[in-house]
A and B are shown apart, each in its own frame.
Chain A
Amino acid sequence: DAMVIQNPRYQVTQFGKPVTLSCSQTLNHNVMYWYQQKSSQAPKLLFHYYDKDFNNEADTPDNFQSRRPNTSFCFLDIRSPGLGDAAMYLCATSTGRFNQPQHFGDGTRLSIL
């Protein structure tokens, strides 16, 4: 089945140690999104790619970066994770920017030691 796959499901890293989260899609969608979701809160958009065009939300910390080497893959890099970055990170895709339904992966839960 076509889907959005996030790896790993659970990631533990140390305070300040860089970490990369991965997302892949078989839907061939143009747009890929990364969201941060903390407990009992709505998902918060960090950034998105429309094809190779990168769009950063104004309040996304500089500590968060993203790469999209091809249509299928998108990565979230956290350069120096702090305790406040512990959260669920959700990847989503859509055919068009914002005006089409977004399809989500199961998320990666990041813990910081």
Chain B
Amino acid sequence: SQELEQSPQSLIVQEGKNLTINCTSSKTLYGLYWYKQKYGEGLIFLMMLQKGGEEKSHEKITAKLDEKKQQSSLHITASQPSHAGIYLCGAALHGGSQGNLIFGKGTKLSVKP
């Protein structure tokens, strides 16, 4: 069973619009990582969240981990075509070894100019 659920699976937005992608688990997350992937290419690390309630921003992308550490959201403000790609969340579900991450299936984002 998929332990990290991402929603939506795909998203098409008009350039300039805001959007949110969610990553949800039924278990506590010990470290939540957001990556971006261009189709067929490698994963680019965006942000890491660790503490409940933590929020981080990089340029126009903001990610937050909820207080219970079971859900994270990725918010893009004023989207641009360069934001298009697949966004993946990865997380360690066990507090012991955080090296072994599981990943959501990804959210495919398209930005229409």
Q: Do A and B bind each other?
A: no
Q: Tell me the B residues contacting A by CB distance below 8 Å.
A: none
Q: Tell me the A residues contacting B by CB distance below 8 Å.
A: none
